Amino acid sequence: MKIYRRNFFKLIGISIFSSFLLPYKLLYSATKKIINLDLSDKQKSIMFDEATERPYSSPLNHEKRNGFFHCANCGAKLFSSKAKFDSGTGWPSFTESLPGAFKTKIDYSLGMKRIEYHCANCGVHHGHVFADGLQKKRFCSNGLCLIFKLEN
Ligand SMILES: [Zn+2]
């Protein structure tokens, strides 16, 4: 009887726990949609499964011209080249995003608390925002999620 009761409470505990998580998970994944049908598998793994590209792999690390960085999935304008700086981390880094470009959520993966940011328009993952460096904010971006367009 004792064992039965313990299992019963365990079961209740698990269902309460998962009912908290489930709607959030569903809600979050429902906001992500593939808009650009030409996305590569690597781009999709970052955008939809929150993978990270290899540091120093993005050609955008060296992009210094005037223009804007857009979401590679939906085309939304996310960063101005004026906010870009060389953080030395190997990922395209920005001090600030354009207003309303991103939504954030707390990410506890890899055993740390990090702030993840995703496109406010299509919901795909772009990177993490850190409070380090000379600037108070560092948007650490996956270059594969961005498309650079010269300012006209
Ligand atoms: Zn987008």
Asked if pLDDT for residue 135 goes beyond 80, the answer is no
Q: DSSP letter for 139, please.
A: E
Is residue 140 among the annotated active site residues?
A: yes
The Cα 56–Cα 60 span in angstroms is 9
Model confidence band, residue 109 (pLDDT cutoffs 50, 70, 90): confident
Instruction: Tell me how far the alpha carbon of residue 40 lies from the centroid of ligand 1, in angstroms.
Output: 15
CB 140 within 8 A of CB 130: yes
Mean pLDDT of the residues in the chain: 87
Q: Which tokens in the block code for residue 55?
A: 């540091």
Cβ atoms 117, 102 nearer than 8 A:
yes
Residue 113 CA to ligand 1 center (angstroms) comes to 24
pTM of the model: 0.79
